[in-house]
């Protein structure tokens, strides 16, 4: 491992409150001899490390991770799988860095600067040896252990739509309220990050409206799919969850990257079937969601956003 100046302090325990939040990525691309990952050289420390940076106030860690990768490397990347979080002491404060694996989707013209003066791509084994810190080597090793990701699905629950009891019309027509529209707008950068080829929604009005701002940003139509609906009278929740899980898998295989808005009674059961984990709580808040990377027809992990 390359030697460098002191940029990382001692590790801190998971119990210590985090004072500094940062995010970054293991950005990969296919190379002549296999997968290559991107490292940056920082002249201040004389080190080679993974691209990362601090979160802006109120910024989602995943948004920050993709932004920092772009700022440091000029690589436009698509997030895939959450990797181990690194915790260490920086300037006397506990710092946590969240990482995701990211597929390189495009590059611009990198210009050396005062923070990063060089960007280079290395085969995975060489990258493990080249990085200056054990933390980074462990994150790269975790990436190397993953199966090849072939598709990414962003699954969200519809945003806030008031109370069912105060709506006098049919429930499928209940619209988003003011809070819900605010939540829908907050979802736009997360949906845009995965670069979906298509957008799908349950048939309820509030589900379609949840994706409306993202659809406008991406200039994509919203396709209504009843497989993501909650059960009709006489229908079992388990039946709907099974249909939703099957449809998510089919979309991952046929389309690749998609964004889907479904409903609160459907998502937990669908994720139980996709992950095989019946002991995990997949309850999803309104306006919340999951990043679901697939390797073929198998879900790699369900990452709560």
Q: Which two tokens stand for residue 144?
A: 């190397």
13, 228, 41: which is closest to 131 by C-alpha?
41
Task: Provide the whole-model pTM.
Answer: 0.92
**Do 187 and 214 contact (CB within 8 A), yes or no?**
yes
The tokens 């440091």 sit on which residue?
72
Q: Which two tokens stand for residue 286?
A: 């309104």
SS3 122: strand
User: Which residues does 136 contact at the CB level (< 8 Å), separation at least 6?
Assistant: 49, 50, 86
Q: Which two tokens stand for residue 148?
A: 């090849």
**Do 154 and 63 contact (CB within 8 A), yes or no?**
no
Question: What pLDDT does residue 164 have?
Answer: 77
pLDDT values of the chain reduced to their tens digit, one per residue, 305 residues: 555 545 566 888 788 888 999 999 999 999 998 999 999 999 998 999 999 999 999 999 999 999 999 999 999 999 999 999 999 988 889 999 999 999 999 887 778 887 899 999 999 999 999 999 999 999 999 999 999 999 999 999 999 998 877 777 787 889 999 999 999 999 999 999 999 999 999 999 999 999 999 999 999 999 999 999 999 888 899 999 999 999 999 999 999 999 999 999 999 999 999 999 999 999 999 999 999 999 999 999 999 99
**Do 159 and 180 contact (CB within 8 A), yes or no?**
yes
SS3 34: strand
CA dihedral (155, 159, 163, 165) in degrees, to 10, reads -50
**Do 214 and 248 contact (CB within 8 A), yes or no?**
no
Query: In Å, what is the CA distance from 151 to each residue of 128, 220, 242?
Result: 26, 18, 20
Question: What pLDDT does residue 63 have?
Answer: 97
């Amino acid at each position: 491992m390359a030697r460098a100046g002191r940029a990382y302090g001692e590790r801190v325990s998971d119990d210590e409150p985090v004072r500094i939040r940062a995010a970054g990525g293991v950005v990969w691309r296919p190379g002549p001899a296999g997968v290559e990952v991107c490292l940056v050289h920082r002249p201040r420390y004389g080190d080679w490390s993974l691209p990362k940076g601090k979160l802006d106030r109120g910024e989602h860690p995943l948004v920050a991770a993709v932004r920092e990768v772009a700022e440091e490397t000029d690589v436009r990347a698509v997030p895939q799988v959450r990797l181990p979080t690194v915790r260490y002491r920086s300037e006397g404060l506990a710092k946590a860095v969240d990482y995701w694996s990211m597929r390189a989707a495009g590059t611009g013209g990198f210009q050396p600067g005062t923070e990063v003066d060089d960007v280079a791509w290395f085969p995975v084994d060489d990258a493990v040896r080249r990085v200056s810190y054990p933390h980074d080597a462990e994150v790269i090793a975790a990436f190397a252990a993953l199966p090849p990701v072939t598709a990414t699905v962003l699954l969200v629950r519809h945003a806030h739509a008031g109370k069912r009891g105060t709506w006098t019309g049919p429930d499928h027509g209940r619209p988003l309220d003011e809070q819900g529209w605010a939540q829908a707008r907050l979802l736009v950068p997360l949906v845009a990050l995965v670069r979906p080829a298509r957008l799908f929604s349950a048939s309820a009005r509030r589900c379609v409206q949840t994706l409306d701002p993202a659809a406008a940003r991406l200039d994509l139509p919203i396709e209504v799919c009843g497989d993501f609906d909650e059960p009709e009278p006489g229908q079992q929740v388990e039946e709907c969850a099974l249909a939703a899980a099957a449809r998510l898998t089919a979309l991952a295989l046929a389309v690749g990257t998609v964004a889907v808005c479904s409903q609160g009674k459907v998502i937990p059961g669908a994720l139980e079937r996709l992950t095989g984990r019946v002991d995990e709580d997949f309850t999803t808040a309104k306006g919340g969601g999951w990043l679901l990377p697939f390797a073929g027809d198998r879900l790699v992990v369900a990452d709560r956003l």
